[in-house]
Amino acid sequence: MSIKPLTTLDVGYIRGCFPTFEETLAAKTAFFENAGGSYVAGPVLDKLIHFYRYNKVQPYGASDILKAAGEQMDAGRDTIAALLGVDTQTITLGASTTQNFNTLAIACSAIVGPGSEVIVTEQDHEANIGAWQRLCERSGATLRIWPVDAVSGELDITTFEQMLNANTAIACVTHSSNIVGTINPVEKVISLCRSNGTRIAIDGVSYAPHRWPDIPVLKPDVYCFSTYKTYATHLGVMYCSEEFADLLDPQCHYFNCQHRQKRFDSSGPDHASIAALAGLGEYFEQSHRHHFGDSEQSAYKKTREISQLMHAHETMLCDKLLSGIADLPLRIIGRPTMQGREANIALVSGKYSSSELSAQLARVDIAAASGDFYARRLIEKTAIENPDDGVLRISFAHYNTIDEVNRVIDILRRLHGTTR
């Protein structure tokens, strides 16, 4: 039976998919620390528990219990590939994106050496910058940092174009900063790199939680993000095109080099966490069915479609927050509106330190963290008075509600001496 598609996200349904909200503490907490890690969808949790209860064994083997464990892990890998619209062989699952970037940088020793250059951005999480900096120090290559504007924290694509040259071996660019929130023009970056013969990796850790990445359209050499920020278990996903992977040094046991999905697997992550990723596919599938009805579309297309509703909901909520605090003595890092940005707001107060502001919010059951969030270079460049204190970050997920946003607005206004 067909249903009329919903045009807005059914947040009540969505929250019902997250068992966390059944718990007393989570139920009363307005959770805005999503950029540090999201709540886990029910189907993911179910599969994680199932694996630990029934199949916590060395996977793959002749006996039924070993075979079942391997099948569940294969389902998790296949699910991530299907959601991204890519071949399973192009996916590496690591313990984190930090580990995946470290592994990738070491593997790139095959193409980065004396005289070559690597470009990263001043917006980046230090996990990305540090991996390439260490590679350049070892190899004799030059690390070049695409600078941000000191006021806005944003990147100018013209500067990147000027930095590219015949020696640029690889660029690694963030899709959106975990502080600034602006969606960077990665399509243009990829096009410029292709024209220059430069390899391109995209850090999607801060982007993927808000809008599911479209790898088949972008066509990067590498795309990385973290599933613990996209409602699943604590893993890092790294897509690496087959053509690019063939140029790199394998980081696996020599006898695993024939298996493409193991080529950059430097240390296998938790088996149950991999198996549980199949639940992420179920979550997207069930959410799509609820909002759009039955469909024969691929998992990739369904995920893209439901992701748009999730993104629109977050955008609406974040726009409400920005409008509600626009007249307060707060400095928003990046754009003061939702035009061209994600629902991830970093701010500093003219009255409170960021840690004090976080503590004040916590007293009324609002979770929003403070600090530099591993983007220390960006914090320092944008002249934050106390880099150790950093910023207050209010980061959204699609399960947040208007009532929760109103709570944040109300307390920020009271703390700064004004009410609506």
Q: Are 117 and 316 in contact (CB under 8 A)?
A: no
Phi, psi of 194 (to 5 degrees): -60, -45
Q: Is the pLDDT of residue 1 over 70?
A: no
Whole-angstrom distance, CA of residue 183 vs CA of residue 103:
26
Greatest alpha-carbon pair distance for the chain in Å reads 69
What pLDDT is attached to residue 141? 98
pLDDT, average across residues 307-334: 97
Radius of gyration in angstroms for the set of CA atoms belonging to the chain, rounded to a whole number:
22
- Residues paired with residue 171 on neighbouring β-strands, in sequence order: 119, 200
Whole-angstrom distance, CA of residue 355 vs CA of residue 385:
13
Chain centroid, CA 81 distance in Å: 16
CATH topology classification for 48-280? Aspartate Aminotransferase; domain 2 (3.40.640)
Whole-angstrom distance, CA of residue 44 vs CA of residue 193:
37
pLDDT confidence bin for 2, thresholds 50/70/90:
low
pLDDT, average across residues 393-408: 98
- Residues paired with residue 97 on neighbouring β-strands, in sequence order: none
Mean pLDDT of the chain: 95
Number of residues assigned to the chain: 420
Q: Is the pLDDT of residue 383 over 90?
A: no
Place of tokens 């960077």: 184
3-state secondary structure the chain: CCCCCCCCCCHHHHHHCCHHHHCHHHHHCEECEHHHCCCCCHHHHHHHHHHHHHCCCCCCCCCHHHHHHHHHHHHHHHHHHHHHCCCHHHEEEECCHHHHHHHHHHHHHHCCCCCCEEEEECCCCHHHHHHHHHHHHHHCCEEEEECECCCCCCECHHHHHHHCCCCEEEEEEECECCCCCEECCHHHHHHHHHHHCCEEEEECCCCCCCCCCCHHHHCCCEEEEEHHHCCCCCCEEEEECHHHHCCCCCCCCHHHCCCHHHCCCCCCCCHHHHHHCHHHHHHHHHHHHHHHCCCCCCHHHHHHHHHHHHHHHHHHHHHHHHHHCCCCCEEECCCCCCCCECCEEEEEECCCCHHHHHHHHHHCCEECCEECCCCHHHHHHCCCCCCCCCEEEEECCCCCCHHHHHHHHHHHHHHCCCCC
Q: Is the pLDDT of residue 417 over 90?
A: no
420 vs 309, residue with greater confidence = 309
CATH topology match: 11-40+306-415 vs 48-280: no
What pLDDT is attached to residue 298? 97
What pLDDT is attached to residue 418? 76
Residue 200, CA distances (Å) to 188, 273, 307, 332 in order: 11, 28, 25, 30
Using a cut of 0.85, tell me whether the model's pTM lies above it.
Answer: yes
Residue ranges per structural domain of the chain? 11-40+306-415, 48-280
pLDDT confidence bin for 326, thresholds 50/70/90:
very high
Domain with residues 11-40+306-415, CATH architecture: Alpha-Beta Complex (3.90)
What pLDDT is attached to residue 266? 67
pLDDT digits (tens, 9 = 90+) for 66-111: 999 999 999 999 999 999 999 999 999 999 999 999 999 999 999 9
What pLDDT is attached to residue 413? 97
Least confident of 126-140, 236-250, 256-270, 385-399: 256-270
Amino acid at 380: E
Dihedral class, residue 8 (left if φ above 0, else alpha if ψ from -120 to 50, else beta): beta
Place of tokens 């003595």: 329
pLDDT confidence bin for 338, thresholds 50/70/90:
very high
